[in-house]
Amino acid sequence: MPRLTLGRLVTALSLLYSAALVFLFLVPGTGDDGSRQGVMAELVGPASYLLKPLGLAIDTDRPRHSVTIALLVLGLFQAALCRLVLRRRMRSWREPVGDYIRRFSHGPAIFRVAASYAAIVSAVAFWVLSTVVTSDGSMAGIWLFPLLGPAAVPFFLGVDGFGYLTFAGPVQAWLFWRLLRGHRVPGGGVA
């Protein structure tokens, strides 16, 4: 069995993100395309701000299918661009993940916690977004707030932006990893 390298992990995550976008675009909804636009904008996140220069806008009252298609294309482009940028920036693209996390004094334990947290928050966020598309008046978003913890505070203070609730969990897990992984161990990660 081939070892899980950082490159394979990044590629798998970008493909999973792309599959989630396509699924939410194709899943049968309640007939209200406005909620689908909001969900796609939330999942696409930062790329949704490119709609305005394209002459498009998210309108939940009178939704246009062209906006939903544009959000899908922008999200797929964003996934490919993130993979490309990470490919160019990471020196250790072919390095096994286990060797990379063993470079740090608390690496393996903190990586397990941070990766588990990111997986749980991402799964709940996807579930929340899919219930918004498939059912009217869903209150499933309440499940995200306790999981996000401190990242949910700016939402209550009026910070508004697409992608905030979707990307807050993984960003928080990455910060958790960066802050608590410990110092580099000399010769760490060498088998």
SS3 annotation, 14-65: HHHHHHHHHHHHHCCCCCCHHHHHHHHHHHHHHHHHHCCCCCCCCCCCCCCH
- Asked if residue 153 is part of any domain, the answer here is yes
Show the domain range for 141: 6-180
Residue 34: the pLDDT is 64
Tell me whether residue 188 is in a domain. no
- Going along the chain, which residue ranges are E strands? none
Would 186 be classed as within a structural domain?
no
- Residue 187: inside a domain, yes or no? no
Which pTM was predicted? 0.80
Domain tally for the chain?
1
- 98 Cβ contact partners less than 8 Å away, ≥ 6 residues apart: 3, 4, 108, 189
| pLDDT given for residue 76 in this prediction | 93
Residue 191 covered by a domain: no
Q: What is the pLDDT of residue 109?
A: 92
Q: Does a structural domain hold residue 160? A: yes
Flag whether 190 is in a domain: no
Query: Residue 180: what pLDDT?
Result: 92
Per-residue pLDDT of the chain (191 residues; tens, 9 = 90+): 468 888 888 899 999 999 998 998 888 776 666 678 888 888 888 888 888 888 888 776 677 788 888 889 999 999 999 889 888 887 778 888 888 888 899 989 999 999 999 999 888 888 888 888 787 777 777 888 888 888 777 777 776 666 777 788 888 898 998 999 988 888 765 55
